[in-house]
Amino acid sequence: MTSPLFPHRHLLGIAGLQPHEISYLLDEAEQWVTLNRSLTKHDSRLRGLTQINAFFENSTRTLLSFEIAGKRLGADVVNMHAAQSSVKKGETLIDTAITLNAMKPDVIVIRHAGSGAVALIADKVDCPVLNAGDGRHEHPTQALLDALTIRRRKGHVQGLKVAICGDVLHSRVARSNILALTSLGAEVRVVAPATLLPDSLESLHVTPFTDMDDGIADCDVVMMLRLQTERMEGGFVPSLREYHMLYGLTYERLKRAKPDALVMHPGPMNRGVEIASDVADDVNRSVIAEQVEMGSRCAWPVLTC
């Protein structure tokens, strides 16, 4: 990384990026649309370079996005899954980072369950580090791909009303999206059960809502979050059906938003919990598949700049 237009060694989060830098990454990503949709789909920009995808937490779409983007750009891509690595044998994260560094990679893409873990590794290695999600902290490429999806559909982000709905407390996607979309000039609302709303949200320049109907009223974009059932052991919501009644996105509820409002979801979806299947599958409203396509697109500029 580090081009004059993007003077950052690592991409650890949206925090710290200037609005024009976010726009620059989106513009770059836009260029890859044509290549990605063409027959050959290949470029040699990263030929001879080694990219390690170190995923300490499971992932399907983010890992595939980075792997495919790296390969289409000509890099030698290696995936490290924590489940089959020395992490299972008790190696500390720092030792793993030093080991990875000793392999002399040119870029490391990291996902980890601990907030701040990616920054910790970035401190210890000699190559650029891309954050593919750290705990509840940030998931910057998800925010970039969401912003790109919105921009392609709506033509701009500035001035749009965006509602981010669901388990905001545990969501790195929500944090990165709040930062990216407010930075690009959108009016962002956050809708969640009171038990899943983090403290001091006003300081992030968003408006919190606990009533979904009020929260999505008149919105241009309704962005649903996965209800992280694996993190629900503390009992933040009484039951999935109650959650669905209050916060599930149904056609009935979607009528509150603008008639052309986009429906987004970072995946994987809990159908029938946070989103009804017919809404998720409506090609006229849902851009969920397009978000995945933009995912590999957004991996490209961050790998190349």
Partner 1 sequence: MTRKTAIINARIVGRAETALLIEGDRIAHLGDAPLPADAELIDAKGAMLAPALIDLGVFAVDKAACIAGGIARIALMPDQNPVLDEPGIVQRAALAAKPDLWVHPLAAATRGLKGQELAELALMQRAGAKAVSTGRGWIADSGVMAKLLIYAASLKLTVISHAEDGGLTAGAVATSGETATRNGLPAAPAMAEAMALARDLALVRDTGARLHVRQITTGAALDLIRQAKRAGLPVTCGVAPTHWLLTDIALSDFRTFTRLSPPLRSEADRQAVLAAIADGTIDVLTSSHDPRGPEAKRLPFVDAEPGAAGAETLLPLALGLVRDGVLSMDQLFEKLATNPARILGLDAGVLAEGAPADLVLFNPDTPWQIRRPDLKGLASNTPFDGLPVQGRVLQTIKGGQTLA
- Which residues are catalytically annotated? 61-62, 89, 111, 139
For partner 1, the closer of residues 199 and 230 by Cβ is 199
User: 3-class DSSP state for residue 284?
Assistant: coil
Task: Note whether 188 and 164 are within 8 A (CB).
Answer: yes
For partner 1, the closer of residues 58 and 92 by Cβ is 92
Q: Does 135 bind partner 1 (CB under 8 A)?
A: yes
The number of residues that bind partner 1 (CB under 8 A) is: 25
For partner 1, the closer of residues 131 and 270 by Cβ is 131
Q: Does 199 bind partner 1 (CB under 8 A)?
A: yes
Segment interacting with partner 1 (CB under 8 A) among 89-97, 249-257, 258-266, 293-301: 89-97
Q: Does 57 bind partner 1 (CB under 8 A)?
A: no
Least Cα distance to 134 among 151, 158, 109 occurs for 109
Q: Is the peptide bond before 140 cis (omega within 30 degrees of 0)?
A: no
Least Cα distance to 136 among 149, 121, 120, 117 occurs for 117
Q: Does 138 bind partner 1 (CB under 8 A)?
A: yes
Enumerate residues 6+ apart whose C-beta is below 8 A from 175. 136, 137, 138, 139
Q: Does 119 bind partner 1 (CB under 8 A)?
A: yes
Cα 46 to its chain centre, rounded Å, is 23
Partnered with residue 301 across adjacent β-strands are none
Segment interacting with partner 1 (CB under 8 A) among 39-47, 200-208, 222-230, 265-273: 200-208
CB of 200 to partner 1, least distance (A): 4
x-marked contacts with partner 1 along 149-178 as a string, rule CB under 8 A? -----------------------x--x---
Q: Does 200 bind partner 1 (CB under 8 A)?
A: yes
d(CA 251, CA 265): 15
x-marked contacts with partner 1 along 206-245 as a string, rule CB under 8 A? ----------------------------x-----------
d(CA 49, CA 107): 8
Q: Does 201 bind partner 1 (CB under 8 A)?
A: yes
CB of 238 to partner 1, least distance (A): 18
Segment interacting with partner 1 (CB under 8 A) among 75-83, 129-137, 156-164, 236-244: 129-137
- List 46, 52, 108, 117, residue binding partner 1 (CB under 8 A): 117
For partner 1, the closer of residues 85 and 250 by Cβ is 85
Task: Note whether 272 and 297 are within 8 A (CB).
Answer: no
In 112-183, alpha helices (H): 117-122, 140-154, 172-183
Task: Note whether 83 and 109 are within 8 A (CB).
Answer: no
Q: Which helix (H) or strand (E) holds 100?
A: helix 93-102
Q: Which helix (H) or strand (E) holds 209?
A: strand 207-209
Q: Which helix (H) or strand (E) holds 164?
A: strand 161-165
Segment interacting with partner 1 (CB under 8 A) among 34-42, 64-72, 75-83, 117-125: 117-125
For partner 1, the closer of residues 19 and 116 by Cβ is 116
d(CA 15, CA 180): 8
Binding site for partner 1 (CB under 8 A): 15, 92-94, 112, 114-117, 119-120, 134-138, 172, 175, 198-201, 203-204, 234
